[in-house]
Amino acid sequence: MVIFKGGNPLSMFTGEKVDSGDVGAESPAPPSNEEPTPEQDSAPMSETTPTPTETTETTDILSISTPTPTPSFAPSAPTKTATLPSLGSGGSGGKTGSGGGGSGKRTRSGKGSLFGFDETLEDDLIGTMVDLKLDSSGKKPSGLGPDGSPGVTDSDFYRACRELIAGNRVNESALRRYFTVPKKLGATQIFIPVCDAAEATKVFGVADKVKPNFWVIRYKGRFSAPVSGQYRFVGKADDLLWVAVDGRTVLEAHWRTDDFLTNWRPPKDHFKEHSIYEFMNGNTEDDRSKAFLTYGDWMNLEAGKPKEIEILLGEYGGGRFFGVLLIQQQGTEDKKGKSKDRPLIPLFVTAEPNGQQRQAMRNSKLEFPRETPVFAASQKGGSATVEEAASRAPNANPSSTSSGKSDSADGATYQDGWKEGISGGTGFGNWIMKSNGDPDKKSYAGFYLATQQERPGISTLATGGKAWGIFADGGGFQETCAFRPFSAPLSAGQTFSVEIITPTPKSNSGSTGSIGLTLRNGNTSEKPGDYNQGVRFEFTALEGKPNYQIYDGDNPSDSGLPIPMGGVRLEFTLQPNDLYDLKITPLDGGNPVELKGRKLAGPAGSPIESLGIFNRDSEANAFFNKLSIRP
């Protein structure tokens, strides 16, 4: 006898409603806006017929059973499963699990799957799919993948993914070498039970163009802990799962246990201890030898303080795919489920799971705690929006661009991108953009218009969801500089301001990396190395220095302000007699640093006529916005 409780467990596969408040009709994914050359379809794979599931609930856990797959006639081949369900259109309300922290503002009208929702919201992890088999145009093979180059192996897949990482962050310029699927998805969790890898291409709307192998999905966003404490991520994927927090790799849980994208290695505790063989429908000895959860590094998380997170999921060969990401708080290791096999570890979620997400948990052969803590960046104490960050920043000046002369990245001039020779706003001349990147030598340096959808970390300085992005990474010493003259030299009493996000540079060339801004006499701009020609003031994030550095006619050079993740607002006020005042305000909160009466560099009395925004072999992306001159 089977007793069904709390909804129809077959709805995962039939599309029948489980919770009318959370479920909507499924619609086909929209077609891609790109037109890559279609590839030959891979051979069709037989699907299994799931059997009804059994759901048992206790006051302590969600006890879960998985549909038993049809036995394979070729035991060495991966097991296939049915199509993943739609998650409908219903959003979660304000209810939260233990620890709370969910946002009552979440409502969603779009459709979704377990890979993410069509409509994205502020706490979502924004998912971008990249096909490593096609070049950036989507029309030519990249040389990777079984179809692009015969004899390519899974080791080549991991090698290609390794090249996507620079300084424990995803390398934007390396991603741009491959075809990026236009459609984005907003995920609130990484929990994808065993399915056909083709499901990913379907939900991203490119099933007719992208074969279901040699793809990666990059999820990026922010999160914050509902309760302060020590936490670590725990997970596994077939074939690739990489997680970084604030530019630090904290977990690699790939199917091949001897391949890594960075120097990270798993801790010794629980190494190959907690098997998920049944959850991933294992059917071979190789499955049994690899189907263990991987435990990550412990992190100290402060309640309500947002952290940047990047996740890579990937698939090498097509066929079977799954991925699961959990988060464990220290001190909960002894809470065991019925199987006594492993601790009860909650899913990592950035919003309260809706009805079908919970049903997916019940229909998998894992056990979870009944309560699911929510790691939403926007929960109380977070800083999810520019307005919230500005309101918390002491002496903040959110209207710095509302009067005088100004320009910002969301202006009409930049609708088609940030390009040389254009000029937006008032008070500034045309942009002059110089770089020495050479993609043929895997050296990347340049400029782009960054969007908050793809780069949630720019929210503190974005206007209209946009900011100017500048990068320098890859082989050799890369230099990038955006020069811009002022319409008239700065005069005493005027304040120039700009907002900047500058990660700490980490050069791989043996030289010292740096990111920053110069104010200059003249406008020499023939090459990126001219960034400090005629320099009177330089503000720099310098490799090897934890604080921002200032180079002018005075000493010392250390500003005393550590480099914050959320960036800073610079307010430079020119004073008579070759002096200036500087105010540096962290955009994500914290006390500003004010420096008075510092001496300018360069010949006495020489005017300040231009600026330079530079990135010198930092192996990272930097972001700028909100240029202003007042009054």
pLDDT tens-digit profile of 91-113? 444 333 434 443 445 567 667 88
Our separate counts of H helices and E strands in the chain read: 7, 33
Averaged confidence pLDDT in the chain: 79
Distance of alpha carbon 314 from alpha carbon 622, whole angstroms:
26
pLDDT of residue 356: 84
For 327-386, give the secondary structure using H, E and C.
EEECCCCCCECCCCCCECCCECECCCCCHHHHHHHHCCCCCEECCCCECCCCCCCCCCCH
Which of the pair, 148 or 592, is modelled with greater confidence?
592
For 197-211, what is the mean pLDDT?
94
Distance of alpha carbon 349 from alpha carbon 325, whole angstroms:
9
pLDDT of residue 617: 92
Distance of alpha carbon 525 from alpha carbon 509, whole angstroms:
24
The encoded tokens of residue 102 equal 């969910």
- For 398-415, letters b (16+ CB in 10 Å) and e give eebbeebbbbbbbbebbe
Quick: pLDDT tens for 406-419.
999 999 899 889 99
**Which amino acid is it at 197?**
A
pLDDT-derived band of residue 476, with 50, 70 and 90 as boundaries?
A: confident
What CATH number labels 11-69+91-259+267-369? Answer: 2.60.120.380
Quick: pLDDT tens for 288-331.
888 899 999 999 999 999 999 999 999 988 889 999 999 999 88
Statement: 386-630 belongs to CATH 3.30.470.10: no
Which residues, 6 or more positions from 475, have their beta carbon under 8 angstroms from its beta carbon? Answer: 441, 442, 443
Q: Are 113 and 383 in contact (CB under 8 A)?
A: no
Which of the pair, 590 or 182, is modelled with greater confidence?
182
Q: Are 241 and 254 in contact (CB under 8 A)?
A: yes
Distance of alpha carbon 509 from alpha carbon 478, whole angstroms:
9
Distance of alpha carbon 567 from alpha carbon 503, whole angstroms:
8
Q: Are 174 and 66 in contact (CB under 8 A)?
A: no
Cα→Cα distances 437→80, 472, 528, 616, Å: 44, 8, 11, 11
Which residues, 6 or more positions from 185, have their beta carbon under 8 angstroms from its beta carbon? Answer: 112, 113, 115, 116, 117, 118, 120, 126, 127, 203, 204
Beta strands 495-501 and 620-630 are antiparallel
pLDDT-derived band of residue 87, with 50, 70 and 90 as boundaries?
A: low
Sequence ranges of the chain with CATH classification 2.60.120.380:
11-69+91-259+267-369
For 141-165, what is the mean pLDDT?
79
Distance of alpha carbon 631 from alpha carbon 628, whole angstroms:
9
Which of the pair, 106 or 232, is modelled with greater confidence?
232
pLDDT-derived band of residue 39, with 50, 70 and 90 as boundaries?
A: very low
pTM: 0.52
Quick: pLDDT tens for 531-583.
999 999 999 999 999 999 999 999 889 999 999 878 999 999 999 999 999 99
For 179-190, what is the mean pLDDT?
94
What's the N-to-C CA distance of the chain in angstroms? 79
Sequence ranges of the chain with CATH classification 2.60.120.200:
386-630
Residue 18 pLDDT exceeds 70: no
CA torsion sign, 188 to 192 to 195 to 198?
Answer: positive
Q: How buried is 544 (Cβ within 10 angstroms: 0-12 exposed, 13-18 middle, 19+ buried)?
A: exposed
